[in-house]
Amino acid sequence: MTAKCIMVLGTTSGAGKSWLTTALCRYYARQGLKVAPFKAQNMSNNARVVAIENGQGEIGSAQYFQALAANAVPDVRMNPLLLKPERDTQSQVVLMGQVSAELSAMPWRGRSLKVWPQIAAALDALRAENDVVVIEGAGSPAEINLSNSDIVNMRVAKHCEAACLLVTDIDRGGAFAHLYGTWALLPEDERRLIKGFVLNKFRGDATLLAPAPQMLQDLTGIPTVATLPMWWQHGLPEEDGVFDDRSVAKGVVNLTVAVVAYPRISNLDEFQPLKNIPGLRLQWVRSPSELAGLKPSDWIILPGSKHTSGDLAWLRAQGLDAAIARHAEQGGAVLGVCGGLQMLGEALIDPHGIDGNAPGLGLLPLVTVFAQDKTVRHTSTSFVADFQSHAAGAQAGDLILPNAQKSAPGLGPNSVGPGAPSPWNPLAGVAVSGYEIHHGQTAQHAAMAAAGDLAHTVLPDGLGWCNARGNVLGLYLHGIFEDAAVLQALFSAQLGGTVPTLETVFDGLADYIAAHFSEGVLQDLLN
């Protein structure tokens, strides 16, 4: 078996490559074909855990979801090279699921030469096992400054003789110039692989596009094979961006979930399922003013971070530390996930130069030490039966002010007494599955524990803690909102007994492209 390869290229980042690749994976899988996704190199701090030989490793989240859409088991070969930005000029390099210190230290062009044989081998192995491989490009294939070291766009397309679609975001303006300019900058042996242009995110009357598609075909010989209407709420996580305020909840908002969007935010896509909850508004925040209108019943989430100490410094510089502390002091729900959990503690200690030392927010009596080895694994476990601790020192008037509150102006005594139920109590006893990706190892702060100030363990093996009041929760487990049992427990009233699923999303994507591509095009790409 040698798979037919179909490749989705874009005129720019954000043109729609990831979601179109996902849609094609489900479309061809529904034809009874064995399908696998592939992206040679992904740059993203959104990753998922997959099985590898002798352990577990990381691939980009987009390829993980594409594999699920294809009804395939996610495989490290589907994204052999993953770059995880840590700073503006530095990325952690993950090759075949494992962090490579050698490659992380190499210049970009030298790295490309070194990794291409493994990328080609991964693609060839998938081709040998499948009927169709749907390949996602990166950025634009016409980055002429990078063409000599390309390992993700046209070098891949030529290697497997892929039938290529070139997609552009028409909502940005200049779509026909983007398509023509990209085509014009490619050499002839690469142009021949482009089989169709796709206009994405179109708003308005498609007949008004004429005569531009035909004029473009006259210039290039390539037809425009689809005009895809704007679709804000397709349900698939956005790989690169978070500031999409056009997909907020409609109707009455019962709960606002504010996710702090610091510069090195990671795994932000795990919150996508919250967007699908009726009556829930998901809000990305970068300033205290955006938290000012929250009610105590609303949530603040501190998500993962690829550079925890740097994002913690940024958070303080914005004044968000005091705003978060104020919300917690009023009894509001605060959730920290992975790097967010680490921030909630008293201190970050970095003996190996992994991330950096820093004082924490002090909302949990914990300390994190960064280890040289990264923990990467799937985890299935269960929450404890009670999210509140009644140990000595847990009375409302006896709580020790955390670091963030010691300098925060205008803070009064706790407004919610110790008898108030924890907002996380619906999770009590719930079985949960997720994944871990972290260097930090977090434990009780020894001196504070000796003084009777203990965090309440809510997940075993150091995976989760709550403060004594039960409103501040820290977890190392990513992906809990992708777990149907968790969604049902937390949002059963809003959901009315029905949990939106990824399967529904994938089928919707496939239906969408089937309705909007020109007749016969998707089948012709296989010929």
CA atoms of 126 and 120, how far apart (whole Å): 10
> Bridge partners of 437?
376
Q: Give the bridge partners for 39, in sequence order.
A: none
Helix axes 212-220, 175-185, angle to 10 degrees: 10
pLDDT value, residue 428? 94
Q: Quick one: pLDDT at residue 272?
A: 85
Tokens 């996610």, located at residue: 74
Compute the residue count for the chain. Answer: 527
Cβ distance 3 to 36 under 8 Å? yes
Tell me the DSSP string of 127-185.
HHH-SEEEEE--S-TT-TTTGGG-SSSHHHHHHHT-EEEEEEEGGGS-HHHHHHHHHHH
What is the C-alpha to C-alpha distance for residues 36 and 523, in angstroms, rounded to an integer? 17
Residue segments in the chain with a per-residue pLDDT below the cut of 50 = 243, 246-247, 390-417
Q: Within 10 A of 424 (CB to CB), how many other CB atoms are there?
A: 23
CATH architecture of the domain covering 249-409+417-501: 3-Layer(aba) Sandwich (3.40)
Closest CA to 383 of 351, 343, 346, 427: 427
Sheet strand arrangement including 366-382: 358-359, 347-349, 366-382, 431-444
Q: Residue 409 CB: number of other CB atoms within 10 A?
A: 6
Give the Cβ contact number of residue 397 at 10 Å: 8
pLDDT tens track for 443-452: 999 999 889 8
Specify whether the CB–CB gap between 247 and 275 falls below 8 A: yes
What's residue 180's pLDDT?
98
What's the half-sphere exposure (Cβ side, CA atoms, 13 Å) at 391? 17
CB contact at 8 A, 358 and 313: yes
Cβ atoms 264, 307 nearer than 8 A: yes
4-230 and 249-409+417-501 share one CATH topology? yes
Tell me which residue has tokens 């963030």. Answer: 404
Which tokens go with 300? 């603040």
CA distances from 199 to 179, 184, 203, 216 (A): 9, 18, 11, 12
Where residue 167 falls (left for φ over 0; alpha for ψ -120 to 50; beta otherwise) is beta
164 is annotated as an active-site residue: no
The DSSP string of 197-248 is EEEEEE-S-GGGGTTHHHHHHHHHS--EEEEEEP-TT--PPPSS----GGGP
For residue 250, give every residue at least 6 positions away whose Cβ sits within 8 Å of its Cβ, in sequence order, or none: none
Q: Where are the beta strands (DSSP E) in 360-514?
A: 366-382, 431-444, 456-459, 464-466, 472-475
> 519 — phi, psi (to 5°)?
-60, 130
* Residue of 506, 26, 494 whose CA lies nearest to 280: 494
**Per-residue confidence (pLDDT) for residue 238, from 0 to 100:** 67
pLDDT confidence of residue 126: 98
| Selected catalytic residue, list 338, 439, 445, 466 | 338
Catalytically annotated residue among 307, 445, 456, 478: 478
Q: What is the DSSP letter of 517?
A: B
Cα 455 from Cα 467, distance rounded (Å): 5
Identify whether 234 is a catalytic site residue.
no
Give the CATH number of domain 4-230. Answer: 3.40.50.300
Tokens standing for 446?
């020894």
Question: Crossing angle for the helix pair 320-329 and 308-318, nearest 10 degrees?
Answer: 80
Q: In this predicted structure, what is the pLDDT of residue 251?
A: 64
SS3 60: strand
Render pLDDT for 205-251 as a digit per residue (tens, 0 to 9). Answer: 989 999 999 999 999 999 999 999 998 777 787 665 554 554 455 56
Ramachandran quadrant class, 280 (left: phi over 0; alpha: psi -120 to 50; beta: rest): beta
Q: How far apart are CA 236 and CA 507, in angstroms?
A: 11
Rounded to whole angstroms, the Cα distance separating 327 from 256 reads 13
Domain ranges in the chain are: 4-230, 249-409+417-501
